[in-house]
Structure 1
């Protein structure tokens, strides 16, 4: 079987911390190269990972079957559309595009070009979150908190909702497993229009879902708490599992062989995308799934602006 040829656009912090360590461990694929607009900075990263620097997106597209896009959100539409039109399959960081109309256009474009387009919602591939999802068939309540120690600004409310709160909304609604309806919520900003706090309540059948984020909580903690018919579950930072099911408290030990990138879902996400391309199957966050949380967040922002 011919190995997939893989490339990367964008070599900033998230690419270096989360994606390059996975993609450069090529097994069933060949890492062809990477492109980033500022060659002087990009070349240092490429040299560190021993990958070729490619001088343009079009040149990279000509060499690749699949490309991971980690460039700035403002560039997503231009970069992803160029790759799709060149016949390349794409996995892009969330959000798919900086506005909903462009995101929907990209989904349509991928459909026309018969190419795989996936948004890299890594939390859907966290092993502990996947285990928790399997427990929620009889769920009554689910709460997800993802806070920041001190990250108010410098960007405005809309940017922060799409850049960070989107993860909370997507993960919580995916865990819920059914279409959810927004019931109520609050968005608090400072005088500069920067997000301070968000909390929203959704209903998904009998399951009540809460999402919450404070930008100056003094903690980077992320945790999900679930109440089901027969058990209480608590997952902290995608690495600590606690459950109570009538026989005391159980703490699941972290597997010694499991890396942080596996715990946080980056390994599973990358492999899932490449397997979907190789097998010509629909990935977890393609099409409507990729747009679901962005539509919700767009509504939260519009509702806040109309108040």
Structure 2
């Protein structure tokens, strides 16, 4: 079978730190080219990774089977629409689009064009989170915290919910097995309408789920704690595993050979998308799947605005 031809749209920080190192290092596909509106900056990045700069999205689409989109959220709808219309499979950074209506339109377009549309929720592909998910069949309580040392503003509440808190909601609900009922919660903002703190409580059958984020918490720590019938589990920063199952405490550090991009799920996410395209299977974080968390976050924002 011929190798998939892969392209990239958007060469900002997340593309450089997380995606290009993965995409440029694999031999299972061909990284054909990249497009970003500012050619002068883009050319330097393309030269670093030894990939051609392509002058437009249309030209890139004409050469590729699949494209990773890492452009600004405000451009997602236009960029992903153009690629899907051209018959290209797309993996796009979260959120799928800047608003829920546009996100739903993209899902409908992908279905109409019979193309794979996936949202890059990398945490679903973190090996430790995947292992933790297997322990939750008898789960009673699940809590996910993702805090920031000092990241209040400059963007408004809605931007931060979609840009960062969305990760927490999506990961927690995925670990819990899917949709859950929102029970209660709080959103605190400053006088400028910027997010300070969020915490929400969900329920899914017997499992109680809590998501939490403080934007000035003095720490960049991310951790998930699970209480199950028979054990307590904690994963810190997708790197360290701690469990207590009646026979003492086990602390398991990350394997020395495992890269940060593997630990944080970026490598697994990229592979999964391209395998889904090659095998014509539905990806784990399909557009339809990604809408679940975005609908929750949209609801949280609307309720906060109506208070």
TM-score (norm 2): 0.99
Question: Where does residue 164 of structure 1 map in the other structure?
Answer: 164
Q: 1:287 Cα shift? A: 3.3
Q: 1:254 Cα shift? A: 1.3
Q: 2:126, 2:287 → 1: CA distance?
A: 21
Contact 2:176–2:204, Cα closer than 8 Å, also in 1: yes
Secondary structure of 1:165's aligned partner: helix
User: CA RMSD, aligned part only?
Assistant: 0.5
Question: Where does residue 223 of structure 2 map in the other structure?
Answer: 223
Q: 1:266, 1:13 → 2: CA distance?
A: 14
For structure 1, the residue ranges without an aligned partner over 5 or more in a row are none
Secondary structure of 2:197's aligned partner: strand
Secondary structure of 2:167's aligned partner: helix
Contact 2:225–2:234, Cα closer than 8 Å, also in 1: yes
Q: 2:253, 2:150 → 1: CA distance?
A: 30
Are residue 279 (structure 1) and residue 290 (structure 2) matched? Answer: no
Q: 1:192, 1:282 → 2: CA distance?
A: 42
Which segments of structure 1 move beyond 2 Å, counting only runs of 4 or more?
none
Q: 1:26 Cα shift? A: 2.6
Question: Where does residue 122 of structure 1 map in the other structure?
Answer: 122
Q: 1:253 Cα shift? A: 2.6
Contact 2:142–2:226, Cα closer than 8 Å, also in 1: yes
Q: 1:288, 1:6 → 2: CA distance?
A: 23
Question: Where does residue 28 of structure 1 map in the other structure?
Answer: 28
- Superimposed CA distance per residue, residues 188-235 of structure 1 (whole angstroms, 9 cap, x where no aligned partner): 000000000000000011000000000000100000000000000000
TM-score (norm 1): 0.99
Q: 2:253, 2:283 → 1: CA distance?
A: 30
Question: Where does residue 139 of structure 2 map in the other structure?
Answer: 139
Are residue 177 (structure 1) and residue 171 (structure 2) matched? Answer: no
Secondary structure of 2:5's aligned partner: strand
Secondary structure of 1:24's aligned partner: helix
Contact 2:96–2:287, Cα closer than 8 Å, also in 1: no
- Superimposed CA distance per residue, residues 56-81 of structure 1 (whole angstroms, 9 cap, x where no aligned partner): 00000000000000000000000000
Q: 2:217, 2:285 → 1: CA distance?
A: 30
**Counterpart mapping for 1:12-161 below 5 A:** 12-161=12-161
For structure 2, the residue ranges without an aligned partner over 5 or more in a row are none
Secondary structure of 1:33's aligned partner: strand
